């Protein structure tokens, strides 16, 4: 599409994010030939942008403090309905607390900040999955800043997409349910959302998505075992429906025949 490939490190989770992990990602991408045009940008260094966006939301009355504990929210997971890949729907326990109730609760614990999801439906045309429609209040009000001060994925990524002028977002199908939340934030912040394309997940033999937890190997491990980048690209291209055989392929040859329409919508 003759666009710019921006590399963004989503490292807001300070307990799980380490520079060595980011460095390995960049080494793997560079070896595969996935060279970025801009970045890397680290979300941990962009907190002023997120704070500014949060202040806009607060000024518009679109946020409120939430004092629900992790235990309270985990109990919702046992409910028979209202659960998406984003977790159980938040029922709005703290949505209408009075200022006095909020102040009293602050003596007990620091609150997270939730976004008041407008009661409207959201839809978009996924470039892989097709038309997607989400009913009003899908998933309930969601956290934009955690009680420990950490910025939530939804707000940080939305603000970055706006600030970086992102036009196309390609990501895994496990994030489909997060899209209406980002559409809502884009809407109230006054910006046109990018186009989204959600690709199917590569599943392990245990039926769960491929990860180190079920024995999947990293790109670096495959490289150390002598696998060529063409072999790895060929396997991924075949699994995703871009090619008709598992044979090795160069990135240049793959780019020449790449279209989103070829990507299979089935999990692989």
- Expressed as residue numbers, the domain containing 52 is 46-76+85-199
60 and 183 assigned to the same domain: yes
Residues 157 and 251 in one domain: no
**Residue 101 and residue 194 in one domain:** yes
Domain membership flag for residue 41: no
H helices of the chain, in order, are 19-32, 47-59, 70-76, 99-106, 153-163, 179-188, 219-224, 229-239, 251-257
Q: Is the domain of 67 the same as that of 116?
A: yes
The Cα–Cα gap between 250 and 35 comes to 14
Residue 231 domain-assigned (yes or no): yes
pLDDT of residue 268: 53
pLDDT reported for residue 224: 96
**186 lies in the same domain as 240:** no
CATH number of the structural domain spanning residue 192? 3.40.50.620
Same domain membership, residue 185 and residue 132: yes
Domain for residue 189, yes or no?
yes
120 and 237 share one domain: no
- pLDDT bucket at 81, cuts 50 / 70 / 90: very low
Token pair of 201 as six digits = 């997940």
Give the model confidence (pLDDT) of 23-33 as tens digits: 999 999 999 99
227 and 182 in a single domain? The answer is no
Whether 226 and 163 share a structural domain? no
Final residue belonging to a domain, choices 168, 199, 230: 199
> Does position 249 have pLDDT exceeding 90, yes or no?
yes
Enter the pTM of the model.
0.90
Q: Are residues 70 and 153 in the same domain?
A: yes
pLDDT tens-digit readout, 106-146: 988 999 999 999 999 999 999 999 999 999 989 999 999 99
Q: Are residues 102 and 158 in the same domain?
A: yes
Q: Which residues contact 10 (CB under 8 A, 6 or more apart)?
A: 43, 153, 156, 157
Instruction: Answer whether residue 107 is part of any domain.
Output: yes
Q: Look at the chain and report how many structural domains it folds into.
A: 2
Are 187 and 142 members of one domain? yes
């Amino acid at each position: 599409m003759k666009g710019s490939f921006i590399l963004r490190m989503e490292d807001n989770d300070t307990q799980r994010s380490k520079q060595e992990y980011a460095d390995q990602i960049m080494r793997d991408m560079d070896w595969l030939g996935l060279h970025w045009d801009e970045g890397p940008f680290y979300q941990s260094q962009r907190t002023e942008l997120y704070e500014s966006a949060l202040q806009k939301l607060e000024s518009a009355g679109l946020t409120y403090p939430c004092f629900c504990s992790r235990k309270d929210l985990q109990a919702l997971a046992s409910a028979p309905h209202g659960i998406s890949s984003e977790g159980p729907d938040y029922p709005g326990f703290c949505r209408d607390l009075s200022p006095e109730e909020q102040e009293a609760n602050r003596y007990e614990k620091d609150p997270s900040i939730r976004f008041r999801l407008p009661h409207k439906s959201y839809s978009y045309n996924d470039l892989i999955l097709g038309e997607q429609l989400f009913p009003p209040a899908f998933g309930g009000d969601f956290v934009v800043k955690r009680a420990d001060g950490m910025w939530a994925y939804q707000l940080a990524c939305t603000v970055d997409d706006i600030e970086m002028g992102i036009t196309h977002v390609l990501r895994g199908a496990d994030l489909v349910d997060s899209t209406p939340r980002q559409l809502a934030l884009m809407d109230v912040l006054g910006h046109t959302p990018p186009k989204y394309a959600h690709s199917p997940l590569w599943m392990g033999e245990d039926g769960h998505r491929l990860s180190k937890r079920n024995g999947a190997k990293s790109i670096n491990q495959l490289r150390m075992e002598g696998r060529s980048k063409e072999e790895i690209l060929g396997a991924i291209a075949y699994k995703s429906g871009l090619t008709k055989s598992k044979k090795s392929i160069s990135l240049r040859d793959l780019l020449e025949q790449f279209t989103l329409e070829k990507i299979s919508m089935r999990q692989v």
